[in-house]
A and B are shown apart, each in its own frame.
Chain A
Amino acid sequence: EAEVAQSPRYKITEKSQAVAFWCDPISGHATLYWYRQILGQGPELLVQFQDESVVDDSQLPKDRFSAERLKGVDSTLKIQPAELGDSAMYLCASSLAGLAYEQYFGPGTRLTVT
């Protein structure tokens, strides 16, 4: 069964450093999402792509976060500089075509900022 791949699974970084996460969605899925999940809370949408275009990044802290999905396939989420409050699980998900379809989630990247 096809899965969403994410790497790394765990990342420890010092504050003020740069960090990047990678996501490879299920083949053929046009929509890709990045979420941040703080322990004990639900996922919070950071950015939604439709193919290579950003559909929604209203919750993305653009002063330090950036996301791209070149060629509309895999995607990278970057934080620079990382802050202590960025410690969280970063989840990537993909769906066939937008919000009307179920989302398939990757295993996530657990980020710890020290």
Chain B
Amino acid sequence: SQQGEEDPQALSIQEGENATMNCSYKTSINNLQWYRQNSGRGLVHLILIRSNEREKHSGRLRVTLDTSKKSSSLLITASRAADTASYFCATDGHDMRFGAGTRLTVKP
């Protein structure tokens, strides 16, 4: 069973716009991670945020974590066509659980 739930399921934006994806989870965690998957490929790690952190940045990525609401968000600023991919959150809890993902399409 999957613990993380991403929202929205699909998102379509124009190049240059910002993209925001949300993740909700059910049980307590030690850390939450975001991954990207290009079509038919393996997943690539983007960022890890620990339960005692509230915000983390990496290049054009900004991740927030609200443990009281059991939710996280991933913001991609100034999106590019190459950002087109599926994005997954993963929580550790008892074991690593991935959500169903947000499918992001960035139109040139």
- Closest Cβ of chain A to B105, distance in Å, is 15
Given contacts A42-B100, A105-B44, 5 further A-B contacts (CB under 8 A): A4-B42, A48-B96, A93-B42, A100-B31, A102-B45
- Closest Cβ of chain B to A29, distance in Å, is 13
Q: Can you show 14 pairs from A to B with CB atoms below 8 A apart?
A: A33-B96, A35-B98, A41-B2, A43-B98, A45-B97, A91-B42, A91-B43, A99-B95, A100-B31, A101-B48, A103-B33, A103-B35, A107-B41, A108-B40
How many angstroms from the CA of A45 to the CA of B41 in the assembled complex?
17
Establish whether residues B95 and A45, one from each chain, have CB atoms under 8 Å apart when the complex forms. Answer: yes
List chain A residues, Cβ under 8 A from B45.
Answer: 102-104
List chain B residues, Cβ under 8 A from A14.
Answer: none
List chain A residues, Cβ under 8 A from B88.
Answer: 42-43
- Is B12 in the interface zone, CB < 8 Å from A? no
Other-chain residue from B35, B44, B92 in contact with A99 (beta carbon distance below 8 A): B92
Establish whether residues A99 and B96, one from each chain, have CB atoms under 8 Å apart when the complex forms. Answer: yes
**Chain A interface extent, by class:** 20 to 34
**Chain B interface extent, by class:** 20 to 34
- Closest Cβ of chain A to B58, distance in Å, is 12
Interface secondary structure of B, over-half rule: loop
List chain B residues, Cβ under 8 A from A89.
Answer: 40
List chain A residues, Cβ under 8 A from B94.
Answer: 56
B2: nearest residue on chain A (CB-CB)? A42
List chain A residues, Cβ under 8 A from B48.
Answer: 101-102
Interface core residue of B2, B4, B42, B96 (most chain A CB under 10 Å): B42
Establish whether residues B100 and A45, one from each chain, have CB atoms under 8 Å apart when the complex forms. Answer: no
- Is A78 in the interface zone, CB < 8 Å from B? no
- Closest Cβ of chain B to A88, distance in Å, is 12
Chain A residues 1 to 53 lying within 8 A of chain B, measured CB to CB, are 4, 33, 35, 40-45, 48
How many angstroms from the CA of A110 to the CA of B55 in the assembled complex?
36
List chain B residues, Cβ under 8 A from A58.
Answer: 95
Interface core residue of A35, A43, A56 (most chain B CB under 10 Å): A43
